[in-house]
Chain A
Amino acid sequence: MSIITSPTTSGQGGPKHGGPKQATRKQGRQRQGSRRRVEPIFYLFLVPSLVLFTLAITIPGIVGIFFSFTDSIGIGDWEFVGLTNYIAIFTDPAILQSYLFTFGFSIVTVIAVNVVAFLLAVGLTSRIRMKSALRTIFVIPMVVSGIIIAYVFNFLFSNSLPSLGAAAGIPWLESSLLANPDFAWVAIVLVTAWQAVPGALLIYIAGLVAVPGDVYEAAEIDGASKFQQLLKITLPLVSGYVVINIILGFKGFLNAYDIIVGLTNGGPGTSTRSIAMTVISGFNGGDYAYQMANATIFFVVAIVISLVQLSLTRGRNAL
């Protein structure tokens, strides 16, 4: 940062000290100096992560893409089959369904998480009692592992709620939400949101705390109601954080796996199979190459989404 800005400051300050010539010379010297100052040891610091990333991500990724053009099952002999796997994917309703489900689920969950987290954050940054205790309580779900949450909720949905429903005589509550092919996804959204809200909440709290108090004072003097303040001042001022939360959340939900496995395992039927689940089914189902092709397509989709997100966020200061 300072390397870029310091020539500008010296350029601005230049005329005060002497002629523009001197300033240019100084600038040049400083550039050279800054270049010399990058010690080779800094490059060494990059090596561990570079090596790890290459070994654990890049190489396996390339190997996976390579095998997506074969009929490999993960072991033994294999042959090249060209684009067969890719052609098969585009006519496979199961894969198509997993994409539809995953994207639909991600969009709904992102909206749910952000609405809840934002409202909670507004509450937790206003003048209320036991603020820090409440903040701690709301953040707890974040530190529990997803699969544990899923199993606990699985028990609640399958046993506790139905027996409550039976005791209270509410017929629709008697059958498990997870056993309903049309609404099992609602349960998944609920549980995923329950786990994801704290993360978004923390970011919103940080954003809300950063909003200066005087703008509210000014608004109050102008006679704005609390609701107008929320809508016209708070929301625009934390819009950067909204974007961050939406991006982070959406990316995470596209990879949905553990909570779904723990709750429905893709069921009832195949109504809640996510993309990650179909990809992993290739490993234990002997369909390695095919699912590698699926993963490659998903990779491309993820890159496209990331590029769109990057271009959306570039203009925002909060990021």
Chain B
Amino acid sequence: MSVKLTRRKRFAAMGLGLALLAGLLSGCAGEPDKETIRFTFSKREAIGFMTKLVAEYNASQNDTEVVLDTSGVDVVSASFVRGNPPDIALANYNMETSRFVQRGVLSDLSGTDAASRIREDLQPLMDQYGSYQDRTSALPYSVMASSVIYNKEIFAANNIKVPTTWTELIAACDQLKAAGVTPFYATWKDDWTIAQGWFDYSVGGQVDTLDFFDKLAVEGTEVGPESSVSFQKDFEQPVAKMLKLATSYVNKDAASRAYGDGNLAFSQGKAAMYLQGPWAFSEIAKTAPDLKLGTFPLPMTEDPQDLRVRVNVDLAAWIPEASKHKEAARDFLEYLYRPEVIEAYNKSQLGFTPTKDSAVVPDPRIEGMVQYYDKSQVYQGPSVLVPRTIPIMNYTQALVFGANPSSTLSTLDADWARLAFRQ
């Protein structure tokens, strides 16, 4: 009897399971004639914006159903290994993404309308990470410019004008210090804040990183004290200037402060300047929504013509070669690049739109960088151009903590040469 009962139970359970499965499947399929594409986007701050945008796109037409996938870059890398990459992605364009480009797993976008509207002077920034044959493997979508963030109220209270030369900068720092104001708020516990701000601004304000890394790549295994370019030669002066600022003009507890502490302290007016990117604005605004902030490029030379801002391609669009829905993905790509869409996105994230036809209405907080971006007086930071396998962030942290600059920079040279040897 008991056997029968269990059997009956088993059948019942099986039936229930099947019913559930059927329900799930029908739920998944939705409208059967719609082509589903997976769209990877993992920039945390903008997921809300993108979710709305995708919903609007799905409602606007009947051919494609875009599914937003917010998994990060590691998951995306793994999906390439499995041969199941997303159909389209908007992702930070960096050394990690560039691997996909260099190994030719991204499809050519040169025929798209979007590609023809990209500002040509930005192409070197993309090519700097390498390319594959003649392909246009990725298109810039959002460019972030970063430079010194300054507290306009503190500057006004001390009668300080935005410095445009190194001497003016030092004078401003001395004046602030004399008035009892910490000139820079530094957060050295988080090594990326040193690499991204202190190191990149100092080097980029003085060294032509495009040219430098081109030559460095040519030197390859020969990089060292004898090569035409090297970290120990070309970066020595900028690093020395960085260390001058880092030792004389920062908060006393910089070594144990992290990025979050810095945003809070800066919003409370505990320092006049802050070397961070535009992403910090929304964090600062959480505690001080009305604080008047501005930006200016860190002057490293005596010539105001040398002023440049650091940029990075915060988002680039690409479509993997392995995608089975390339056409649908391209349609969605064109939608993303519609002037109203791309401009709305960049406005919401304080980014710059890389299309030729964009009408810029900048936020006052990033106004100070517009003229440089428009004249393409920009550079990509050296810290993002060094392959990730070289722990450059750790090295920059060691520098501000007092490591010998020339030996640290020659370690960098040696690392570069070793990497060239095995790649």
B403–A269 contact, CB under 8 A? Answer: yes
A93–B414 contact, CB under 8 A? Answer: yes
What's the A-B contact tally at a CB cutoff of 8 Å?
Answer: 113
A73–B403 contact, CB under 8 A? Answer: no
Stretch at the interface among A43-51, A74-82, A221-229: A74-82
Our pick among B99, B257, B391 for the contact of A273 (Cβ within 8 Å) is B391
Chain B residue numbers with a CB within 8 Å of A71 are: 422-423
Chain A residue numbers with a CB within 8 Å of B415 are: 94
Is B387 in the interface zone, CB < 8 Å from A? yes
A285–B422 contact, CB under 8 A? Answer: no
A285–B387 contact, CB under 8 A? Answer: yes
B388–A74 contact, CB under 8 A? Answer: no
Chain B residue numbers with a CB within 8 Å of A268 are: 394, 397-398, 401
User: Interface size of A by Cβ–Cβ distance < 8 Å?
Assistant: 40
A283 to B257, CA, bound (A): 29
Chain A residue numbers with a CB within 8 Å of B168 are: none
A94 to B199, CA, bound (A): 21
In chain A, positions 263-277 with a C-beta closer than 8 Å to chain B are 265-271, 273
Q: Mark B85-97, 1 if CB is under 8 A from A, else 0.
A: 0000000000110
Q: A71-B423, A75-B103, A268-B397 are in contact. Are A88 and B255 (CB under 8 A)?
A: no
A286–B81 contact, CB under 8 A? Answer: no
User: Interface size of B by Cβ–Cβ distance < 8 Å?
Assistant: 40
Q: A91-B418, A281-B389, A287-B387 are in contact. Are A75 and B105 (CB under 8 A)?
A: yes
Most chain B beta-carbon contacts within 10 A, residue among A281, A283, A285: A285
A266–B256 contact, CB under 8 A? Answer: no
Chain A residue numbers with a CB within 8 Å of B397 are: 267-269
A92–B418 contact, CB under 8 A? Answer: yes
In chain B, positions 290-310 with a C-beta closer than 8 Å to chain A are none
Q: A74-B81, A269-B394, A270-B398 are in contact. Are A176 and B389 (CB under 8 A)?
A: no
Chain B residue numbers with a CB within 8 Å of A73 are: 99, 103
| Shortest distance from the beta carbon of A188 to any chain B beta carbon, whole Å | 15
A192 to B257, CA, bound (A): 23
Is B100 in the interface zone, CB < 8 Å from A? yes
B103–A162 contact, CB under 8 A? Answer: no
Chain B residue numbers with a CB within 8 Å of A181 are: 398, 401-403
Is B38 in the interface zone, CB < 8 Å from A? no
B256–A158 contact, CB under 8 A? Answer: yes
Is B411 in the interface zone, CB < 8 Å from A? yes
Is B189 in the interface zone, CB < 8 Å from A? yes
A265–B388 contact, CB under 8 A? Answer: no
Q: A88-B418, A158-B258, A162-B253 are in contact. Are A269 and B398 (CB under 8 A)?
A: yes
7 sample A-B contacts, Cβ–Cβ < 8 Å, listed by A number: A75-B80, A76-B104, A158-B256, A175-B253, A267-B394, A269-B394, A273-B394
